Homo-oligomer: A and B are copies of this chain.
């Protein structure tokens, strides 16, 4: 059997805000059978993870030592690899059978032809919805878990500030922090998101940063005695204001820099005197750094889900054609929680 496989490509490198015109849908004929002797695996993609950091991979590749050289580049015109959940359609590899659910580095596509090494995990769909493995039980969850518990070493009662707090990672950081017994304030970009944080996710306070004129004063209002931990998803002015309001021995976990992803001018200029006098630690991380903690993370998070202590916020669009707009929407603040594109019935 042969299908016409639709996949998304970039038409050019993207240096600023992504737009629909940067992307196109291509098609290819794909046989859903594996040649004898080959260890290929053919995957029907079910859920595609849509993540802001992908924009960095779409930029012009630099051979310098700068950060961008650490991101595997996406080549215009070529299929875009990303974390995807799919179902095995055909397999020449004895480790995988037809109808296995798997998560791996597949493509922004309806189908992917991959090797064993692309597959990260076989998934069990009996207890939790499959899509959870992209968010709360996947890399978003691991980023929240590792970036909060491992990087920040939080203590119960500490004061925690989370930016992009309704995003895929921020909402989980805030919930983990509340479960630990911290005071938690989140910021987001709409009143609807603010309500979600306070009413559904149990944040102590939340504010819409677009309605604030002086972020330094805003943070002083919510943290009159200062911030112990800042979980940073955005960089820019919010990072500056947070550092200005940290307590002594405060910790900043840098997960993302969305302010800077699409505008290199929006760099933060934190006050280094604060860093010295308050002995602040700023530390960047990638989810991969915590792979050794994955089992611990999964056990703890699954328990929280079973007991209903952790809320899952997913934002799901449908069809491979919606991948570009889903991705573009991340930079406009369209998504609430984990952004996923669903492709086909399980």
Contact = CB atoms under 8 A, between A and B. Distances in A.
A220 interface: yes
A239 interface: yes
A289 B261 CA distance: 36
A278 B245 contact: no
Given A56-B273, A235-B272, A267-B272, A70 B283 contact: no
Nearest to A70: B277
A34 interface: no
Contact of A67 (B65, B261, B274): B274
B277 A260 contact: no
A244 B277 contact: no
A271 B263 CA distance: 12
A226 interface: yes
Interface stretch (A75-83, A249-257, A300-308): A249-257
Task: Determine the interface band of chain A, counting residues with CB < 8 A from chain B.
Answer: 35 or more
Interface in A268-286: 268-286
Contacts of A278: 67, 70, 284
A71 interface: yes
Contact of A280 (B226, B269, B275, B284): B284
Copy number of this protein in the oligomer? Answer: 2
Contacts of A283: 275, 279-282
Interface in A101-128: none
A68 interface: yes
A190 to B, nearest CB: 24
Contacts of A284: 272, 274-281
Contacts of A282: 275, 281-283
B276 A239 contact: no
A276 B256 contact: yes
Contacts of A25: none
B274 A285 contact: no
Contacts of A226: 65
Contacts of A275: 67, 254, 257, 282-284
Interface centre among A70, A239, A247 (most CB of B within 10 A): A70
Nearest to A248: B70
A227 to B, nearest CB: 9
Interface string A229-266: 00000010001000011111000001111001100000
A38 interface: no
A278 B261 CA distance: 16
A283 B268 CA distance: 17
A66 interface: yes
A66 B245 CA distance: 7
A271 B276 contact: no
A239 B272 contact: yes
Nearest to A245: B65
Interface of A: 56, 64-68, 70-71, 220, 226, 235, 239, 244-248, 254-257, 260-261, 267-286, 289
9 closest pairs, A vs B, by CB? A67-B273, A275-B284, A70-B277, A276-B284, A67-B277, A267-B269, A67-B274, A257-B272, A282-B282
17 contacts: A56-B277, A65-B246, A66-B273, A67-B275, A70-B278, A235-B272, A239-B272, A255-B276, A260-B271, A260-B273, A268-B269, A274-B284, A275-B284, A276-B284, A279-B284, A281-B282, A281-B284
